[in-house]
Amino acid sequence: MARLDGTAALVTGGSRGIGRGIAEALAAAGATVVVNHPPQEDDSYGRGVVEAIEADGGEAAVIQADVSDAAEVQAMIETFEADYGAVDVLVNNAGILTQSRVAEMPVEMWDETIAVDLRGVFLTTRFALPGMLDQGAGKIINVASQLGLKGGEELVHYSAAKGGVIAMTRALAREVSPTVNVNAIAPGPIETSLLADISEEWRTAKEAELPMGRLGRVDDVAPTAVFLASDESDYYTGQVLSPDGGDAMH
């Protein structure tokens, strides 16, 4: 029997990058996985994840919803529960990353980052949590960032949102444990499309700064999510696990 047989998981922002890696890893461990991605994204990305999971013998589906929109999130959770029952594993991964110094930052940039990266975590949790509490079990995994622990120049908005996710994780864990385990993953810089436009100068400097000497890969993060989704993590709650190559030791 696989580690997650019989569980149903929802992965927001699951169509690419870290989210896709987590969705595929959860499915490989036996979970039925619902992949969420935003309506403005080409639905071929979500379908591609589902097809890859099914090709490996797993079960998956896709739901489009904007995690910053309360009505869309509520409808997504209602659809999930109608098809699979209460969410067993919720992975709040959806996020955006932009760059600006605060003195020049458009207010809209701040608002959009907080809306997706922090409000989105609250909304999805808010509508999935009652079902978890009713069934007497659940795992919530919030994907934060090492920048939520240490901060980042020209990333004050992103750092603030991810720091909020970490604080929310700890507070919610106190509120809903032992029924629901709530933990966070705070990855370091990971080789995904979010880093596609970085300069070689930045990459070289960052790799020299990291104790592990390289940027992370999606495969460095996904196993942490599988662990937190499994029974093996039942005594973990309110924790922040950091596959970050030593970037933010805490």
Active site residues: 158
Angle at alpha carbon of residue 84, lines to 78 and 87, rounded to 5° = 70
178 cis-preceded (ω within 30 degrees of 0): yes
DSSP string across 87-99:
-SEEEE-------
Give me the phi and psi of 241, to 5 degrees please: -95, 135
Rounded to whole angstroms, the Cα distance separating 118 from 97 reads: 12
Q: And the tokens for 160?
A: 């603030």
Give me the phi and psi of 91, to 5 degrees please: -110, 110
Neighbours of 5 (CB within 10 A): 10
**241, 228 contact by CB (below 8 A):** yes
Residue in the block written with tokens 């030593």? 246
Q: Cα 234 from chain centroid?
A: 19
**226, 4 contact by CB (below 8 A):** yes
CA dihedral 92, 40, 197, 210 (to 10 degrees): 0
**14, 64 contact by CB (below 8 A):** no
Q: Cα 78 from chain centroid?
A: 20
